[in-house]
Amino acid sequence: MRLLHLLNERLRSRAPSWSGVAVVAPSELRRMAAEVEDGLRDIDFEEVTTEDRVTFIERAVAWQVRQALRCGRFDLAVGLGRYGAQRIAELYEVELGFRPTLPYGIPRSGGNDPWVHG
């Protein structure tokens, strides 16, 4: 009974990661975004299309989000998702001359229209 009481006390003393508003440390997000940017520089060749770069960002950010969620870092996962969506919009802005609105974060794959979502 004493052990159960101690465990209960310990659980109550820890604030769950979803209570309140957690702020991502800018250094963590910058470090993870720098990894994606390094990868983009590694594939910077003439034959690499914008779609290839978008796919790279989608895959890299998805992996980072899964890692953050495994660690219980929901704040970091949301920040990474936002970074990925903004970076994809920037890539399309360079190609199209304007920044498309991406309400779901990423355009539908296979479509020619990057701002249309299904």
| Burial grade of 80 (CB within 10 A; 0-12, 13-18, 19 or more) | buried
Q: For residues 49, 50, 56 and 61, what is the CA-based torsion angle, rounded to 10 degrees?
A: 170
pLDDT digits (tens, 9 = 90+) for 53-103: 999 999 999 999 999 999 888 989 999 998 999 899 899 888 888 777 665
Give the predicted TM-score (pTM) of the model: 0.65
